[in-house]
Amino acid sequence: MEREKIENCHEKEIAEHVSENESQTDAWAFDFKSRGTDSVAHDAADVSAGPGCDKDAEEYNMRHPKRGVALILNHQEFADVAPRRGSSRDCENLCAELEKLGFETRVHQDLTYIALSAVLTETALEDHSTADCIMVIAMTHGDSGYLHSRDTVYHTQELWLHFTGDMCPTLVGKPKIFFIQACRGTMVDSGVSVDVTDSYTTSYVLPTQADILIAYSTVDGTDGYYSWRNPRSGSWFIQALCHELQTHGRTRDLLTLLTFVCRRVAIDYQSTVPGDENMDRKKQIPVITSMLTRLVYFGQNQRV
């Protein structure tokens, strides 16, 4: 049986005048007007040779002249739902850490769906031949399979379908990294106690959706889970991500780094919602979906 339509989702947003020390979620009820992903058409196309990696390489080539673009889609204000207080802090922290790693950060605030789609399309059409990778970060309200723009909702997969190998030839064989800070449903996790005592001569064909990594701030499922955010210090997932990037961004491979992001969120954070026992003292665990075929190391900002 298919999941009930999104408009039947029951959402709980913490009261508008909640203390800044209390936790909020990145979920919000919305009416979804059916929209397919026809705007991201996939015609049959030959895979570009592109300056990716040698077929037998265990690590991605991360020594191009440029690190690459980091698109930050920060949604704090919305047309019909409550604002996401604390997201500006996430945005500032992300820019600081990603720029240290050599990324060209591009911040877009509170885009409408049409504007957001245009930004993704235009970025995918750019020439990324001299870049190591691309990164897209979306911070917004959401539910299972959907994210909020300023004025409506869209399918989560629209973030990355623009950058698959058949749509963006200059990123073939390169990491395409997506971080999503948003709720994926309305469930809460009470937790359980733990008692502690550039170019190559060899050609080959890749799947169009290879080399993509998507890290979600929380778990999906039949009902999906809340993703928590502090109005003063930002969301748990982005806080943990920035900490790991700052501490180990140049030494650990990306999947290892994200594993420690998961650990940090799981252990170090717990919701504070006094007066609502159903939302107080709750936990969260991020999810990593990887189609990477090699290790990603950001290393030093050295270029050949």
3 state SS of 212: strand
Radius of gyration of the chain (CA): 19
Name the token pair of 126: 């750019």
Catalytic residue (one of 141, 168, 242, 262): 141
What whole-number distance in Å separates Cα of residue 190 and Cα of residue 193? 10
What whole-number distance in Å separates Cα of residue 120 and Cα of residue 36? 16
C-alpha dist (Å) from residue 151 to 25, 74, 115, 154, 205:
19, 14, 10, 10, 40
Query: Does residue 226 contact residue 188 with C-beta atoms inside 8 Å?
Result: yes
Catalytic residue (one of 91, 183, 242, 262): 183
Strand partners, 178: 136, 214
Does residue 128 carry a catalytic annotation? Answer: no
Q: Which is it for the CA torsion 201, 204, 208, 209, positive or negative?
A: negative
Does residue 183 carry a catalytic annotation? Answer: yes
Q: Is 248 exposed, middle or buried (0-12, 13-18, 19+ CB in 10 A)?
A: middle
Catalytic residues: 141, 183
